[in-house]
Amino acid sequence: MAAKYREDQIKKTASKDGKMDSALGMKGPPAKPADKAEEKKDGAAPAAAAKPAARPDETSEERMEREMREIKEEFNKRAMKLSTTLMRIKNLAKSLDRDQIFNNILEIITKGLDATKVQLLLNDEKDGKFLIVKAAGMKPKEYKDLEIPHEEISMITHLLHQKMNEVTGGAGALGIKECEMDPKTKGLVGQGVVKSILCAPVYAEGKLFAVINVEQMTNPDYTRDDQNLLSTCADIAGLVMKNAKLYSATMDDLVSAQKLSEDQLKKNEELKGSLSRIVSPSVAELIMSDPSNLKLGGSKYEVTMFFSDIRGFTKMSEGMDPTDIVEQLNVYFTRMTDILMELDGTLDKYVGDELMALFGAPVSRDDDPIRAVLCGVRMLDALREQQEMWKQQGKPVISIGIGINTGVVTAGYMGSEKQLSYTVIGDNVNLAARVMAAAKPMELFITRSTYEKVEQYFEVTQRESIMVKGKSMAIEIFQVTGVKPEIDFSELLGKSISHIASGLEVEKPAAKEETPVRPPPG
């Protein structure tokens, strides 16, 4: 039973705590200063140090440089955090031991959400109550006697009445913000034995197996990404439980893990869909096909690198409020990224106002260069539409330059064992960036290596060769001005592609199969 499992865990932890206290000569827990205890309010941990204030004599140019540097640092922090979270989700997905699964769940949530107090509650349907079996930020003696009856009015018990999504196998995360906005759930906020900022149900075998509850966060003003991470973790936890046949094993206090059920193979797409919410779909597909690939190292293979950069953004945004800058960047990056994903590109990173993407890594296709150039044409077309909207709204107009190069690079997971990210390195990557730098606003430049693979599909004009850093010879560059009208890209790429000019959908030909995907060598 869930109660017996919890008692076993409390005994193990209490034994370890007792030995440690004895070794240190402690007879009881140290007293907490009253002023420290009052620091945590409304589920929030102590506030982090504020950003240094701007200098009184700071010029507008210095202010813009500082703000852009802060934006870049924030993007880098998110990228590092994403890579670490991915590693932890990998560990959860391959777990078979129940203690390891529970520990991995708590680790993902505490680290991913900067949460200081998290509980994992098992649903005891027989006795009609929830029991805390694992917790972060709490000692076992603090929760060993806690029971949450199903009749209690709280956010946790409200999950009993949510409907399970038959597609994902979950029901999403419930947060205090959403509860406060809905008259039906407003009364749940702050109620119950255990308080909640966010909570999400874990389903196994179609039943509510457990609840992941976040009681305290460093910053309780959670975001949509925080909710997605919590619900994704809950979805994956439920799949892992079902895979390992641990639902009945845990409730009956069994210790053996059973063979995967045959029908669970059909659930792989669910897991891939959950991963795709926090990583590029192509990277998620690579992890699903072979999780052992998630390790440091790289292989050499041909990739088409795509770089785009906002032209004159620093000068253009002088005098703008930083919040307005970020909002406009988000609108721009969202629309550009949607086009990139539709054409099966892999988003490598955002660097300030620069976007870097890959076609050919980690998944390789014969038509990668065509997809990359079409992506650039469609981005410029979409940006022209967005520019008209910004003009009507009285906002600064963003223009970009794009550079594309095809060549052999080293691609793989770079970083450290604890923090890594998928990227490419090599001379051909640098060349793509140099070509992008040569492009003027709303120009798309490609190198000869890319031109030779796409010339029959696009309208291309050769431009004057340029000298780039690190090259002794001038580099030939070509400007793509549009697509050839007789080309049907939906038929060519084997998938429905939005029309470049009008945005209309073109039906996918019934007899045309999608371009075969080649796994990268090595």
Average pLDDT, integer, range 66-92: 70
Burial of 125 (0-12, 13-18, 19+ CB in 10 A): middle
Query: Could you tell me the residue ranges of all domains in the chain?
Result: 2-14+63-272, 295-518
Q: Would you place residue 40 in the very low, low, confident or very high pLDDT band (cuts 50, 70, 90)?
A: very low
* Measured distance CA(94)–CA(284) in Å, rounded: 15
Mean pLDDT taken over the chain: 77
> Which CATH number is correct for 295-518, 3.10.450.50, 3.90.1150.10, 3.90.1570.10, 3.30.70.1230?
3.30.70.1230
Least confident of 242-246, 330-334, 475-479: 242-246
The per-residue pLDDT for 463 is 96
The per-residue pLDDT for 199 is 93
pLDDT of 36 strictly over 50: no
pLDDT of 499 strictly over 50: no
Going by their DSSP bridges, the two strands 443-447 and 400-415 should be labelled as parallel
The per-residue pLDDT for 4 is 59
pLDDT in tens, 400-420: 999 999 999 998 878 776 667
* 273 against 388, higher pLDDT: 388
Average pLDDT, integer, range 170-178: 80
Average pLDDT, integer, range 290-302: 70
The per-residue pLDDT for 29 is 46
As a CATH number, domain 2-14+63-272 is 3.30.450.40
* Measured distance CA(127)–CA(124) in Å, rounded: 6
The per-residue pLDDT for 49 is 47
Assign 3-class secondary structure to 235-288.
HHHHHHHHHCCHHHHHHCCCCCCCCCCHHHHHHHHHHHHHHCCCCCHHHHHHHH
- Do residues 347 and 415 lie in contact, with contact meaning Cβ atoms separated by under 8 Å? no
The per-residue pLDDT for 65 is 81
pLDDT in tens, 204-227: 877 888 999 999 999 999 988 888
pLDDT in tens, 450-468: 999 999 999 999 999 999 8
The per-residue pLDDT for 231 is 87
Average pLDDT, integer, range 484-503: 70
pLDDT of 188 strictly over 70: yes
Q: Would you place residue 498 in the very low, low, confident or very high pLDDT band (cuts 50, 70, 90)?
A: low
What's the maximum distance between 2 C-alpha atoms anywhere in the chain?
84
* 72 against 431, higher pLDDT: 431
Dihedral over alpha carbons 420, 425, 429, 431 (to 10 degrees): 140
The per-residue pLDDT for 166 is 44
pLDDT of 135 strictly over 70: yes
Q: Would you place residue 9 in the very low, low, confident or very high pLDDT band (cuts 50, 70, 90)?
A: low
Amino acid at 38: E
Burial of 69 (0-12, 13-18, 19+ CB in 10 A): exposed
pLDDT in tens, 240-285: 776 655 444 454 444 333 344 445 555 666 665 655 554 556 666 6
* 80 against 200, higher pLDDT: 200
The per-residue pLDDT for 94 is 62
Place of tokens 């690579």: 286
Average pLDDT, integer, range 59-64: 81
- Do residues 406 and 450 lie in contact, with contact meaning Cβ atoms separated by under 8 Å? yes
pLDDT of 507 strictly over 90: no
The per-residue pLDDT for 259 is 41
* Measured distance CA(454)–CA(434) in Å, rounded: 20
